[in-house]
Amino acid sequence: MGNKNKTISFRVNEDAFEALQAIAEERDISLSAVFRDYVDQLVEHDGQVEVVPEAELEARTSGDGEGDDISFPPTVEVPKRFIREHERLELEAEHLREQLDEYKGYVNDLQDRLEDEEDEVLLLDELDELEDDDESYQLR
């Protein structure tokens, strides 16, 4: 299929727009790039993204004792059994995709053979000669 870019449209108030524009100018990027960066971070961290001014972020992570337990981006410890189960399911899904591809190929082959045989005309006199072969034919 491939990755196709989609457009997201929404409205913000004038103050928020000016603030976003200032962020874009400060970073020397387009306003669209600001949104793309934010959306990429949001997707990457499963919606656990918080936008805060840099000064507030520095205050949170400084050694004042209050912000030491806050980490950004948030991290989650995942048990090994969950990872193993995920890997097992990935392998099983891959195996099922391979089987599906094989079955699709088999069905396509049968359809091709059926289409080829539809145009084939057999004379009744020739059926006696064909009985010696392993193939059998059915009259419709």
Is residue 60 a part of any domain in this protein? no
pLDDT recorded at residue 67: 47
Peptide bond preceding 53 in cis form (omega within 30 of 0): no
Is residue 85 a part of any domain in this protein? yes
Of 43, 41, 34, which Cα lies nearest the Cα of 73? Answer: 41
Type of residue numbered 140: R
The average pLDDT across 58-65 equals 61
- Report yes or no: 31 and 20 within 8 Å, Cβ to Cβ: yes
Is residue 71 a part of any domain in this protein? no
pLDDT above 90 covers what percent of the chain? 16
Overall number of domains in the chain: 1
The average pLDDT across 60-80 equals 64
pLDDT digits (tens, 9 = 90+) for 71-98: 666 677 888 898 899 999 999 999 999 9
pLDDT recorded at residue 62: 63
pLDDT recorded at residue 29: 84
Is residue 86 a part of any domain in this protein? yes
Q: Is 35 exposed, middle or buried (0-12, 13-18, 19+ CB in 10 A)?
A: middle
pLDDT recorded at residue 94: 94
Is residue 70 a part of any domain in this protein? no
- SS3 for the chain, per residue? CCCCCCCCCCCCCHHHHHHHHHHHHHHCCCHHHHHHHHHHHHHHCCCCCCCCCHHHHHHHHCCCCCCCCCCCCCCCCCCHHHHHHHHHHHHHHHHHHHHHHHHHHHHHHHHHHHHHHHCCCCCHHHHHHHCCCCCCCCCC
Is residue 9 a part of any domain in this protein? no
Is residue 30 a part of any domain in this protein? no
Task: Quickly state the pLDDT bin for 103 (edges 50, 70, 90).
Answer: very high
User: Is residue 1's pLDDT more than 80?
Assistant: no
Is residue 57 a part of any domain in this protein? no
Domain residues for the domain of 103 are 80-130
